[in-house]
Structure 1
């Protein structure tokens, strides 16, 4: 399946993420490290505040990063559409995420005029050892 063209590179995606969330600090936010047609990779630096009892990354943290990765992927392909909003997020927790930087790879499953559907895979140890997977749908405002 051919992938849609990028409208923004990594720097452009990160600039829009920081614009959308002006109170966020770059050192504690999930930001893009790679952007390619149909794909964005984000990294959220580890901090002890991300842990839940039991010493693993909390579920709400993983859900937030999955949503941010999908938002970054949508922005990379549609440009400055800050009012694109999550319409669905289905999260599957596969194993406890060990303490460490959190990585999320978002892949575009479908990009239409009004809806984008993304697959997001999250890990801390290795991409071969997924902690969670999410399917995230974004509603894209009409121009």
Structure 2
């Protein structure tokens, strides 16, 4: 499916519609096959033991899939997560941003399914894998 929003438009939408994460997540790259988003890791994303928290990684996966869907359908603020599974596979690198690579596996009229691999910047092995299903509201 052709892209209807580029990465600049997605970043602008994120800043405008979700000020609670402004300055924390941004789209790095986008093409027909994949969207890559960055979590700019700061103290608020850490948990005891000096690693990035599971909720921070889950939030990155969720917003990455959401943006990959919007890139294909346009600004639909009410698209929502209906199912999510995440596997935490290894400890993220301390002091490194996280990069989330998303592929949309299915995009239908009412449901979208995507997968995300999260890596520490500069690392080969993923730290988490997430699969999500989103509900897309009907067009008016």
TM-score normalised according to structure 1 size: 0.91
RMSD between aligned alpha carbons?
A: 1.3
Q: Which residue in 2 is equivalent to 1:139?
A: 135
State the aligned residue count.
138
Matches within 5 A, 1:51-130: 51-99=46-94, 100-126=96-122, 128-130=124-126
Q: Which residue in 2 is equivalent to 1:45?
A: 40
Mapped to 2, the partners of 1:36 and 1:20 lie a distance apart of 22
Mapped to 2, the partners of 1:120 and 1:101 lie a distance apart of 16
Mapped to 2, the partners of 1:136 and 1:51 lie a distance apart of 24
Shift of 1:24: 3.4
Is the CA contact 2:14–2:22 (under 8 Å) kept in the aligned structure 1?
Answer: no
Q: Which runs of 4+ in 1 moved over 3 A?
A: none
Q: Which residue in 1 is equivalent to 2:19?
A: 22
Say which of 4, 9, 13 aligns to 1:7. 4
Unaligned runs of 5+ in 2: none
Provide Cα deviations, 1:113-140, integer angstroms capped at 9, x if missing partner. 1111000000114452100000011110
Mapped to 1, the partners of 2:75 and 2:29 lie a distance apart of 18
Shift of 1:19: 2.4
TM-score normalised according to structure 2 size: 0.93
Mapped to 2, the partners of 1:120 and 1:40 lie a distance apart of 9
